[in-house]
């Protein structure tokens, strides 16, 4: 049979004539200096001290890093999504035709690799690229814990501790802030709550009801299932469960996500899948569901992939709720169910968990965390600051401790199947 043509046969078609130097004695021409590049007598450009730069150059440098983050962080998020999907679906590889897995493994010499392995590789690659760009935090705490994902962290002022929801463990861990991240060995989280009735679910949003000294925890199904949604209340001192309330109805497609509590002890839970808010009484009885067409501001699945998410109760008697994919902020009257779109100057896209820093200042955690301010009782608002935390992590929740803002990052970092290092960073917002 005829020999296949070599790669060199295609070279003239692929490479311009001036660059066809392979297989010849031609040398690559030395690039000539441009007219703007003045040379010294030795032929090398003059050295400039690295730290000497004008304010304009510094601004351009910061903007360059910012643009890099905007490009690279979504890749890390996509890798995480692949990992989460593989870990949560669990049996996706089991849906292949009988014998297909064994035949494929035999062809690979006995090795079998499912979607989880591919997802882990994607996450490792994405994280490595982003870490190479920027890694830094303005302080905070780091600790060691089980699992890749920790969705929410809230400061318990009475107990002087941080409480963190464990995504796959469907529980809550305690972290003593005065020792976390100090010394050579990082503190290890201590699991304080693991409700057997929530086994197999995921723990997401947390809210501390300080007057009643209880913790509200949101539970949901592992994606891609969107059925089970619930909220539970526990005593902070003893972890005795006060109630566990199912929120979904028969045949509902729901994803309970975040939670807030009002001055009377009523609980409000967002549905990120169905764009609604459940209201539950102080003793755990379902009261009402707030639905409104105003929650759908933009058409298309991409603008509604993750709907209503972070939620806080304002002391003036209303709720502030963010729509993650759309970037909209809503002001909701829990008594009448009326919904008003807060006119925000600036972007809140990818906003996740919320925290009130004061009645006029709100923090929205996310890929880029924002500081939002309003001077007219949240009829309008302006994004006045932004904070970019550790580059290979994604902000998912915010909490306030002694007047400072701390951002929980959902992704733990580490290799293999051991414990992961998690970060709750102290946010310093750059003014806009």
DSSP-assigned letter for residue 149: B
Torsion sign, CA atoms 115, 121, 127, 133: negative
Q: How many CB atoms lie within 10 A of CB 73?
A: 21
pLDDT in tens, the chain (432 residues): 455 555 444 444 444 444 443 344 444 445 554 444 444 334 444 433 323 333 333 333 434 444 444 444 444 444 444 444 444 444 444 344 434 444 444 444 444 444 444 554 454 444 444 443 333 334 788 898 888 899 999 999 999 999 999 988 889 999 985 654 444 457 889 999 999 999 999 999 999 999 999 999 999 998 788 889 999 999 999 999 999 999 999 889 999 999 999 999 999 999 999 999 999 999 999 999 999 999 999 888 888 899 999 999 999 999 999 999 999 999 999 999 999 999 999 999 999 999 999 999 999 999 999 999 999 999 999 999 999 988 678 999 999 999 999 999 998 877 767 788 999 999 999 999
367 neighbors 73 (Cβ within 8 angstroms)? yes
Instruction: Specify the residue for token string 């951002």.
Output: 407
Instruction: Give, for 321, the enclosing helix (H) or strand (E).
Output: strand 318-323
Rounded CA Rg of the chain: 26
Neighbour count for residue 415 (Cβ, 10 Å): 9
Q: Distance between CA 150 and CA 396 in Å, rounded?
A: 9
| Structure letter (DSSP) for residue 41 | T
Question: Would you say 393 and 411 are in contact if contact means Cβ atoms under 8 Å apart?
Answer: yes
CATH architecture of 138-431: 6 Propeller (2.120)
Task: Give the single-character DSSP code of 67.
Answer: H
Could you give the C-alpha distances from 223 to 60, 85, 229, in angstroms and in order? 41, 7, 12
C-alpha 328: how far from chain center:
17
Global confidence as pTM: 0.70
Ranges of beta strands (E only) in 339-419 are 339-345, 354-358, 361-364, 369-373, 380-387, 395-401, 404-409
Q: Do 248 and 254 meet the contact criterion of CB atoms below 8 Å apart?
A: yes
């Amino acid at each position: 049979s005829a020999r296949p043509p070599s790669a060199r046969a295609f070279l003239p078609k692929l490479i311009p004539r001036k660059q066809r130097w392979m297989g010849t004695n031609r040398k690559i021409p030395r690039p000539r200096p441009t007219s703007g590049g003045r040379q010294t007598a030795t032929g090398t450009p003059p050295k400039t001290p690295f730290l000497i730069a004008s304010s304009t150059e510094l601004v351009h440098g910061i903007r360059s890093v910012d643009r890099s983050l905007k490009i690279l962080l979504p890749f890390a998020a996509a890798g995480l999504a692949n990992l989460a999907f593989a870990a949560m679906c669990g049996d996706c590889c089991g849906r292949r035709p009988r014998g297909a897995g064994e035949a494929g493994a035999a062809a690979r010499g006995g090795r079998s690799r499912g979607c989880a392995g591919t997802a882990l590789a994607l996450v490792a690659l994405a994280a490595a690229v982003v870490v190479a760009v920027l890694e830094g935090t303005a302080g905070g705490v780091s600790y060691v814990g089980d699992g890749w994902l920790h969705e929410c962290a809230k400061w318990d002022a009475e107990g002087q501790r941080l409480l963190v929801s464990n995504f796959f463990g469907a529980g809550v861990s305690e972290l003593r802030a005065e020792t976390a991240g100090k010394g050579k060995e990082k503190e290890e989280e201590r699991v304080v709550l693991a409700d057997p009735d929530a086994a197999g679910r995921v723990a997401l949003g947390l809210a501390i009801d300080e007057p009643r000294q209880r913790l509200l925890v949101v539970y949901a199904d592992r994606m891609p299932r969107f059925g089970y949604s619930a909220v539970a209340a526990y005593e902070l001192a003893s972890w005795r469960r006060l109630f566990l309330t199912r929120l979904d109805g028969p045949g509902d497609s729901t994803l309970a996500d975040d939670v807030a509590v009002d001055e009377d002890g009523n609980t409000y839970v967002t549905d990120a899948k169905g764009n609604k808010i459940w209201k539950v009484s102080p003793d755990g009885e379902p009261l009402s569901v707030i639905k409104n067409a105003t929650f759908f501001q933009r058409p298309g699945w991409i603008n509604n992939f993750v709907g209503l998410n972070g939620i806080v109760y304002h002391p003036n008697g209303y709720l502030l709720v963010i729509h993650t994919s759309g970037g909209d902020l809503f002001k909701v009257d829990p008594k009448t169910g009326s919904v008003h779109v807060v006119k925000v100057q600036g972007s809140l896209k990818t906003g996740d968990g919320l925290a009130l820093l004061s009645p006029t200042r709100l923090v929205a955690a996310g890929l880029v965390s924002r500081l939002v301010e309003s001077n007219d009782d949240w009829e309008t608002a302006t994004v006045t600051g932004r904070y970019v935390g550790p580059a290979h992590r994604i902000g998912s929740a915010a909490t306030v401790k002694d007047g400072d803002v701390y951002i929980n990052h959902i992704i733990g970092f580490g290799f293999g199947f051991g414990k992961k290092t998690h970060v709750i960073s102290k946010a310093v917002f750059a003014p806009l």
